[in-house]
Amino acid sequence: MSITRQKAIESAIKHRENQASVTGQGCVRDYFGTNVFSDSQMKSRLPKAVYKALRKTMDEGVPLDFSVADFVASAMSQWAIERGATHYAHVFYPLTGLTAEKHDSFFSPDGKGGLIAEFSGKQLIQGEPDASSFPNGGIRATFEARGYTAWDVTSPAFLTEGRNGLTLCIPIAFCSWTGEALAKKVPLLRSMQALNKQAQRVLKLFGHEDPGMITASAGPEQEYFLIDRSFYYARPDLLSAGRTLFGTRPPKGQELEDQYFGSIPERVLDFMMEVDSELYKLGVPVKTRHNEVAPAQYEIAPVFESANLATDHQYLVMQTLQRVAPKYGLACLLHEKPFAGINGSGKHVNWSLAGQKVGNLLNPGETPHENMQFLVFCAAAVRAVNQHADMLRGAVAHAGNDHRLGANEAPPAIISVFLGEQLTEVFEQIASGGAKSSKKNGVLTVGVDTLPPLPKDATDRNRTSPFAFTGNRFEFRAVGSSQSIAGPLVVLNTIMAESLDYVASELEKAPRDKRKFSAAVQKLLQRIIRENSRVIFNGDNYSAEWREEAGRRGLPNAASTPEALEAMNSKQTYELFAKYGVLSRREAESRFEIYQEKYVKDVMIEARLCLSMARTMIFPSGVKYQQLLAQTAAALTTIGKTSCTTTLDEVNSLLARLQKAMMMLEDVVKMPEGLSHAKQCRYIVGTVIPVMNELRQVADALEHVCDDEIWPLPTYQEMLFIR
């Protein structure tokens, strides 16, 4: 038996034997948020006036004063130092990769042989990391590679625990000296502002004189795989690309669906419990944990929060999953498609907008008036998705996600909206009804009739749609499991802001008289639905019929990242981002460059890995097996027996094909010089990927017949089923 397999089996068994030593954490209430510099901490540690000023910044977006910042900095650092922290870090989310942080000590020499703790407001709200090595798409030349960072007051500071100490982490927004957003947080905050502004305009028309701040909320469901760590280390592809580049399907895949309904394996459950308690300490409200459809696949989801906080917490979820896994001898795979032929992982982003005074705006109400308002927000969302489907598609485009979207898996690359039968019918009635307030048969008049009850039950809804209305929110399911949710949320908020702007501008022209206003709303809804209903689809999104139907409806279908990015790279996109103050043209263009470059890098790393694994692991193993078979055949012939060479012939021909594919890949991984990013992308899609696919196909066929003792890579069978 291979040593790695032996090790994996040992650690799975050992974990079970060690069960007795695993202890619980006590009552959750006692430790939830203990590592967060929370509102109650601030309230008790700050002078009243300072606390009030800070709250004003948090709740109303008023700029933070330096004098206030000094108090906050001192209270925050005292709290952290009392807890045992020695360092602080400004944490931000660069445009590629997960997070970036630079640690600084609170302490400096006091000149008398001791130390003093120093942490001022200036260090809190403004730092100057040298960030020349972060991708910036040409925004700054390296010689002026300084950026500034500011604490995002709407996201609390927290402590991370290492084995040897604690670090105070301060979530920050990151800009260049000229004010351009260099990371993901600034545009997210700007998009939330834009949405708030436009939503308030609409609400005012519906009689809310002071609707208060409207926030976008997000509840991201994270899917992931867990495999034994020995396998992870034994697979260069998992280590460097996050997914297997080779591997035949196991005899038992996911056809029985017994994993989804089955109980969680003990080692995994212990892991999940530690992840949950670590996240509780950080104030992340994790709520559900369960098995997913594929073997070795699981899900974790917190309760939804404001989009900004949810984004920060989502990073912590991903980090914690990866940090805790090794303690249980496991590796957590966040890639969208770690195993071919087995379900991939997504991150469903549940999204809605709400205000403290007005509640959830995507919640159908009880009265005709509330229903009318709901229909307006819902229709605005449908319009946003139809008009800007290319931006939504672009926001989830990256190399990993290409194996889900556009491949034979859910959801497809065609962006459509699922509304459910009842709501679709309501919209159809409105569309066919005309603006008359007279009630025809089966025609719903907004402002007069109430909606039929809409199902809130999550069990029977369509799970194949990339963008589904699920009772009181939309669920964007095309987001990839490894991706930050910031980008998709920026697009969602921005396109919704644009749609609400359109609605408000139209309705502001209407008379205020109640009946006349309702008639105007009806007319507007009618127009919105007629113009945008092509994007509504309640059927099976995986079917070939839908692909054809979507083509007839003229819905875009960008199968690959380069296509999706290219479609988003338009004047319309840039103008939209600029109009709502989310991204300047320069910022948006630089992002486009960065994402193209990232795609090229990701796939080229895979291509080179593919080649080196084929040359140094797979081909030599095939030759060993070939030798074994040939020697046996020769020996049999020597003693006068006839030997059957069917397998040997098969291996011979596979090795010949493998060799040919390797040579071709060797050739095409040398990217021609001087190509633009766009041309590099096209080269990859048209030339590199097909050769990688051919190579994989042959290698997998070889694995299928090769001696298990000789095969150098952990197999799908063992990775997915040894727990």
Interface residues toward ligand ADP, by CB under 6 A:
217, 219, 221, 288, 301-304, 348, 350-352, 360, 458, 472-473
List all residues 6 or more positions away from 75 whose beta carbon is below 8 Å from its beta carbon.
41, 42, 45, 46
State in angstroms the smallest separation of the CB of 458 from Mg ion: 8
Distance CA 547, CA 390 (A): 16
Number of residues that bind Mg ion (CB under 5 A): 2
Nearer to ligand ADP, 150 or 279 (CB): 279
State in angstroms the smallest separation of the CB of 334 from ligand ADP: 17
Nearer to ligand ADP, 89 or 284 (CB): 284
Say if residues 234 and 330 touch (Cβ distance below 8 Å): no
Choose among ligand ADP, Mg ion, none what residue 477 binds, the Cβ cut-off being 5 to 8 Å by kind: none
Plot region of 565 (φ>0 → left; ψ -120 to 50 → alpha; else → beta):
alpha
* Strand-strand pairing, 165-176 and 214-228: unpaired
Choose among ligand ADP, Mg ion, none what residue 269 binds, the Cβ cut-off being 5 to 8 Å by kind: none
Nearer to ligand ADP, 317 or 519 (CB): 317
State in angstroms the smallest separation of the CB of 381 from Mg ion: 17
Nearer to ligand ADP, 475 or 501 (CB): 475
Alpha carbon 69 to chain centroid distance?
33
Choose among ligand ADP, Mg ion, none what residue 301 binds, the Cβ cut-off being 5 to 8 Å by kind: ligand ADP
Choose among ligand ADP, Mg ion, none what residue 352 binds, the Cβ cut-off being 5 to 8 Å by kind: ligand ADP
Nearer to ligand ADP, 360 or 687 (CB): 360
Pick the piece of the chain touching Mg ion (CB under 5 A) from 285-293, 346-354, 540-548, 702-710. Answer: 346-354
Subset of residues 219 to 248 that bind Mg ion, contact rule: CB under 5 A: 221
Nearer to ligand ADP, 475 or 718 (CB): 475
User: What angle is formed at CA 239 by the lines to CA 608 and CA 334, rounded to 5 degrees?
Assistant: 115
Nearer to ligand ADP, 231 or 469 (CB): 469
List all residues 6 or more positions away from 330 whose beta carbon is below 8 Å from its beta carbon.
226, 227, 228, 229, 267, 268, 271
List all residues 6 or more positions away from 660 whose beta carbon is below 8 Å from its beta carbon.
none
Choose among ligand ADP, Mg ion, none what residue 211 binds, the Cβ cut-off being 5 to 8 Å by kind: none
Alpha carbon 592 to chain centroid distance?
18
Distance CA 644, CA 636 (A): 10
Q: Would you state the structure tokens that stand for residue 126, as one six-digit string?
A: 């403004």
Nearer to Mg ion, 257 or 575 (CB): 257
List all residues 6 or more positions away from 185 whose beta carbon is below 8 Å from its beta carbon.
92, 93, 152, 171, 172, 173, 174, 308, 311, 486
State in angstroms the smallest separation of the CB of 62 from ligand ADP: 26
Choose among ligand ADP, Mg ion, none what residue 270 binds, the Cβ cut-off being 5 to 8 Å by kind: none
Nearer to ligand ADP, 472 or 647 (CB): 472
Say if residues 604 and 227 touch (Cβ distance below 8 Å): no
State in angstroms the smallest separation of the CB of 306 from ligand ADP: 10
Choose among ligand ADP, Mg ion, none what residue 304 binds, the Cβ cut-off being 5 to 8 Å by kind: ligand ADP
Nearer to ligand ADP, 126 or 360 (CB): 360
Distance CA 314, CA 222 (A): 8
List all residues 6 or more positions away from 624 whose beta carbon is below 8 Å from its beta carbon.
707, 710
State in angstroms the smallest separation of the CB of 24 from Mg ion: 29
Nearer to Mg ion, 474 or 711 (CB): 474
State in angstroms the smallest separation of the CB of 218 from ligand ADP: 6
Give which of 417, 416, 418, 423 is closest to 455, Cα–Cα.
423
Choose among ligand ADP, Mg ion, none what residue 277 binds, the Cβ cut-off being 5 to 8 Å by kind: none
Name residue 170's beta-bridge partners.
90
* Strand-strand pairing, 115-117 and 85-92: unpaired
Choose among Mg ion, ligand ADP, none what residue 51 binds, the Cβ cut-off being 5 to 8 Å by kind: none
State in angstroms the smallest separation of the CB of 567 from ligand ADP: 27
State in angstroms the smallest separation of the CB of 608 from ligand ADP: 38
Give which of 721, 636, 713 is closest to 231, Cα–Cα.
713
Nearer to ligand ADP, 461 or 591 (CB): 461
Choose among Mg ion, ligand ADP, none what residue 560 binds, the Cβ cut-off being 5 to 8 Å by kind: none
| DSSP, residue by residue, 172-229 | EEEEETT--B-BSHHHHHHHHHHHHHHHHHHHHHTT-SS---EEEEEEEEEEEEEEEH
Choose among Mg ion, ligand ADP, none what residue 360 binds, the Cβ cut-off being 5 to 8 Å by kind: ligand ADP
Backbone angles phi, psi at 207, to 5 degrees: 90, 5
Choose among Mg ion, ligand ADP, none what residue 422 binds, the Cβ cut-off being 5 to 8 Å by kind: none
SS3 362: coil
State in angstroms the smallest separation of the CB of 471 from Mg ion: 12
Please pick, from the candidates 90, 229, 335, 348, the single residue that binds Mg ion as defined by CB under 5 A.
348
Choose among Mg ion, ligand ADP, none what residue 458 binds, the Cβ cut-off being 5 to 8 Å by kind: ligand ADP
Alpha carbon 419 to chain centroid distance?
23
> How many helices and strands, by DSSP H and E, does the chain display?
26, 17
List all residues 6 or more positions away from 635 whose beta carbon is below 8 Å from its beta carbon.
none
Q: Would you state the structure tokens that stand for residue 699, as one six-digit string?
A: 């290698």
State in angstroms the smallest separation of the CB of 219 from ligand ADP: 3
SS3 168: strand
State in angstroms the smallest separation of the CB of 352 from ligand ADP: 3
State in angstroms the smallest separation of the CB of 288 from ligand ADP: 5
Say if residues 344 and 337 touch (Cβ distance below 8 Å): yes
Nearer to ligand ADP, 227 or 286 (CB): 286
Subset of residues 192 to 221 that bind Mg ion, contact rule: CB under 5 A: 221
Q: Which residue is nearest to Mg ion (CB)?
A: 348
State in angstroms the smallest separation of the CB of 221 from Mg ion: 5
Distance CA 182, CA 185 (A): 9
Choose among ligand ADP, Mg ion, none what residue 656 binds, the Cβ cut-off being 5 to 8 Å by kind: none
User: What angle is formed at CA 677 by the lines to CA 673 and CA 683, rounded to 5 degrees?
Assistant: 65
| DSSP, residue by residue, 488-535 | HHHHHHHHHHHHHHHHHHHHTTS-SSHHHHHHHHHHHHHHHHHHHGGG
185 touches Mg ion (CB under 5 A) = no
Q: Which residue has the tokens 């917490």?
A: 313
Choose among ligand ADP, Mg ion, none what residue 108 binds, the Cβ cut-off being 5 to 8 Å by kind: none
Q: Which residue is nearest to ligand ADP (CB)?
A: 219
Alpha helices in 512-618 (DSSP H): 514-532, 544-553, 561-568, 571-579, 585-613
Nearer to ligand ADP, 176 or 222 (CB): 222
Nearer to ligand ADP, 94 or 364 (CB): 364
State in angstroms the smallest separation of the CB of 157 from ligand ADP: 24
Per-residue DSSP letter, 349: E
Contacting residues toward Mg ion, per CB under 5 A: 221, 348
